[in-house]
Amino acid sequence: MATRGVVPFGEQSWEQEAEGVRALVCQVDGARWAIVEYAPGSGRPEFCEVGHEGYVISGEIEYEFESGGKIVAKAGEGFVLPTDDMHRGFNHGTVPARLLVIDEP
C-alpha cells in the first residue's frame, strides 16, 4: 500500500549521473523518483536496463532502444520505457530537457 505524503524534491541536492545529466532523487515506497535534467546536447553513453515511466516537464528527450527504433517525447507528454528493451536518452535540443522519471520497483 502506498504511503500518503509529499515527495520532497526541493530538499535534495543535484546528483551528477552522466556528463550533462543530473538528477534530484527521492525514494517513494521502494521506487526511485527523480527530476532528471539533460543539458542541451547531452546524453547517456550506456543503455539502461531499468524500466521507467515519466513526464517531460520542459524541453524534449529522445530515447533510443537497443532493439532498434526511438521515441521522442516533448514538454507535456508522458513516456513509458519497458524493462525488456534497454534504452538511453539524449537531448538534441538547444534548451535543457527536464523530466519526472519513476523507476519500476
- The model's pTM is 0.93
Which long-range contacts link 2-6 to residues 24+ away (Cβ below 8 Å)?
Answer: 2/29, 3/28, 3/29
**Domains annotated on the chain, with CATH:** 13-103 (2.60.120.10)
Contact 93, 99 (CB under 8 A): no
pLDDT computed for residue 100 by the predictor: 98
pLDDT at residue 3 greater than cutoff 90: no
Q: Mean pLDDT over residues 27-52, rounded?
A: 96
Question: Residue 68: helix, strand or coil by DSSP?
Answer: coil
Contact 53, 78 (CB under 8 A): yes
